[in-house]
Amino acid sequence: MGETRLEMATTSTIIEEEDIYRVPADRMLLKVLLVVLCGVPASVSGGSEAQQGPLPLLMVSFDGFRADYLQRFPMPNLKLLYSQGVLVEQITNVFITKTFPNHYTLVTGLYAESHGILASHMYDPVSHKYFHAGQGVDPMWWSKAQPLWITALDSGYKTAAMMWPGSDVLISNRTATHFLPYDVSVTFRQRIGNVTKWLLGNGKEPGVKFAALYWEEPDTSGHKYGPDDTAAMSKVLKEVDDNIGLLVSKLKSTGLWGRINIVITSDHGMAQLSAKRIIRLDDCVHPDEYTLVDSSPVAAILPHEDSKTIFSRLSTCHPHMTAYLKRDIPDRLHYRNNERIQPIILVADEGWTIVQRGNTLSKMGDHGYDNSLPSMHPFMVAAGPSFREGYRISSLRSVDIYPLMCHLLSVPPQPNNGSLIQARCLLAAEACGNLSLGISLVLGILLVLATVILLFRWRRKHWQSRSRAFQRLQMDDDVEPLFE
């Protein structure tokens, strides 16, 4: 980041100093108090960003990057990146903690029940259509929400979506300016090569303002080996970290480093499975009595008939599985108000797998479990001129990332479930992180004011008493000759 960041910081300082000379002292004091008390941005308007438009934003998702991988594995490139920016140690993602629902949440700020991408496999009772992740280009599944790469077009920006879930779908009859559908054979180097070209633009058209880039690791290896396989995960996380190093060096060689903001995050974590932790639905209900729309660890059950009896048998089927009628799904999961949620859902405890028809365990890691579990949480790192440097917070909701990105891009957000209250503290131009400093400043100002008032009153009293003494002296002077 080095020189470029330093240049921008210097420019920003000069602008603030010019403001100070122009603004009268009392208004300046009011401005300081507003910043301290209300968290009003200290120096956004009038800055270079306002003149040139917002800085471009690149969002990268490394699928299945469990938050504690950061503590368990070296990750030197990622650690260097967040030492120059911000780290959110855990992102509270949305239920169900699967790839498609959470990637759509990141670019819409909506819970799954609101954006409509509820699982990897869905059934829509209105259209009678089925959805399978990876083949879901039918717009009707995605059209209940609008991803940022579409919304930002309305602000006059070019956008890009590189293999992000939904990037090749016509949403509101549009796609991003540049996009590529998912293709596992395209390397990370090739993906970042395209994205940097799109960010740079060319002589004919400007670069994109928002780009979303997807990479499938460490999810693929996490499923295959399980997160507890330290040797295997160490190898793949080194590759992921090398890719982060490649990303940074590509941004530097193209001159984008220090001129864009970068958000690196993920969709979910990963839990270790075991052949000893299997829940067999066939032990409780015959598979012909229902359709298994989605399987594990959250099974979506569409009973063929007599759903009451089927629910009764499933609810006592296994001590490590909770059955919910759709209407009784807890509010905190935000997973009820959508017709694509089936009449019964079954939620396995962490590390347990639900199977039917005699299937066995085919992988060692999985996700999709309750989003309150730390093992399901990913992380977030952000860097660039708009972010603070060397700052970290313990957690943030994934729905809050969308309003943060809209704020960075000055794009009016679509209705969403997120909030800027916590996320804005990650920004360099915000005063909220300096709360204790702010309180000290306010107390200091009050103390000075109180001292000035007391001094003034004491001096007035003292002056009045001296004045009276002088009057008496004068009177005495006047009177004295009479007595002489």
> Should residue 49 be labelled a site residue for Zn ion when binding is judged by CB under 5 A?
no
Which C-beta is closer to Zn ion: that of 113 or that of 366?
A: 366
| Catalytic pick among 99, 105, 108, 175 | 99
Which C-beta is closer to Zn ion: that of 66 or that of 259?
A: 66
Which C-beta is closer to Zn ion: that of 99 or that of 386?
A: 99
Closest contact distance (angstroms) between CB of 177 and Zn ion is 25
Which C-beta is closer to Zn ion: that of 266 or that of 386?
A: 266
Closest contact distance (angstroms) between CB of 183 and Zn ion is 17
Number of residues engaging Zn ion in binding (CB under 5 A) = 5
> Should residue 267 be labelled a site residue for Zn ion when binding is judged by CB under 5 A?
yes
Which C-beta is closer to Zn ion: that of 49 or that of 63?
A: 63
Q: Please give the distance of CA 299 from its chain centroid, rounded to a whole number.
A: 27
Tell me the per-residue interface mask from 22 to 41 with Zn ion, x by CB under 5 A, - otherwise.
Answer: --------------------
> Should residue 99 be labelled a site residue for Zn ion when binding is judged by CB under 5 A?
yes
Q: Which stretch binds Zn ion (CB under 5 A): 44-52, 92-100, 229-237, 348-356?
A: 92-100
Q: Which stretch binds Zn ion (CB under 5 A): 219-227, 337-345, 355-363, 468-476?
A: 219-227
Q: Which stretch binds Zn ion (CB under 5 A): 1-9, 75-83, 213-221, 238-246?
A: 213-221
Which C-beta is closer to Zn ion: that of 77 or that of 266?
A: 266
> Should residue 366 be labelled a site residue for Zn ion when binding is judged by CB under 5 A?
no
> Should residue 370 be labelled a site residue for Zn ion when binding is judged by CB under 5 A?
no
Closest contact distance (angstroms) between CB of 64 and Zn ion is 5
The structure tokens listed for 86 are 């911000």
Closest contact distance (angstroms) between CB of 79 and Zn ion is 23
Q: Which stretch binds Zn ion (CB under 5 A): 211-219, 240-248, 338-346, 401-409?
A: 211-219
Which C-beta is closer to Zn ion: that of 240 or that of 426?
A: 240
- Kindly give the interhelix angle for 25-38 and 435-483, rounded to the nearest 10 degrees: 140
Q: Which stretch binds Zn ion (CB under 5 A): 29-37, 98-106, 120-128, 453-461?
A: 98-106
Closest contact distance (angstroms) between CB of 63 and Zn ion is 4
309 tagged catalytic: no
Closest contact distance (angstroms) between CB of 380 and Zn ion is 15
φ and ψ of 93, to 5 deg? -85, -170
φ and ψ of 32, to 5 deg? -60, -45
Q: Which stretch binds Zn ion (CB under 5 A): 61-69, 191-199, 373-381, 394-402?
A: 61-69
Closest contact distance (angstroms) between CB of 65 and Zn ion is 9
With CB atoms as reference, the residue minimizing the distance to Zn ion is 99
Q: What is the 3-state secondary structure (H, E, C) of the chain?
A: CHHHHHHHHHHHHHHHHHHHHHCCHHHHHHHHHHHHHHCCCCCCCCCHHHHHCCCCEEEEEECCCCCCHHHHCCCHHHHHHHHCCEEEEEEECCCCCCHHHHHHHHHHCCCHHHHCCCCCEEEECCCCEEEECCCCCCHHHHCCCCCHHHHHHHHCCCEEEECCCCCCCCECCECCCEEECCCCCCCHHHHHHHHHHHHHECCCCECCCEEEEEECCCHHHHHHHCCCCHHHHHHHHHHHHHHHHHHHHHHHHCCCCCCCEEEEECCCCCEECCCCCEEEHHHCCCHHHEEEEECCCEEEEEECCCHHHHHHHHHCCCCCEEEEEHHHCCHHHCCCCCCCCCCEEEEECCCCEEECCCCCCCCCEECCCCCCCHHHCCCEEEECCCECCCEEEEEEEHHHHHHHHHHHHCCCCCCCCCCCCCHHHHECCCCHHHHHHHHHHHHHHHHHHHHHHHHHHHHHHHHHHHHHHHHHHHHHHHHHHHHC
Q: 63, 113, 241, 430: which one contacts Zn ion (CB under 5 A)?
A: 63
Cα–Cα dist 304/289, whole Å:
6
Which C-beta is closer to Zn ion: that of 95 or that of 311?
A: 95
Q: Rounded to whole angstroms, what are the CA distances from 4 to 319, 388, 466?
A: 58, 15, 64
Which C-beta is closer to Zn ion: that of 107 or that of 260?
A: 107
Closest contact distance (angstroms) between CB of 270 and Zn ion is 9
The structure tokens listed for 182 are 């998912």
Closest contact distance (angstroms) between CB of 157 and Zn ion is 27
Q: 54, 66, 167, 219: which one contacts Zn ion (CB under 5 A)?
A: 219
The structure tokens listed for 272 are 């270790």
Hey, which residues between 380 and 399 contact Zn ion (CB under 5 A)? none
**Which sequence positions are flagged as catalytic?**
99
**Interacting residues toward Zn ion by CB under 5 A:** 63-64, 99, 219, 267
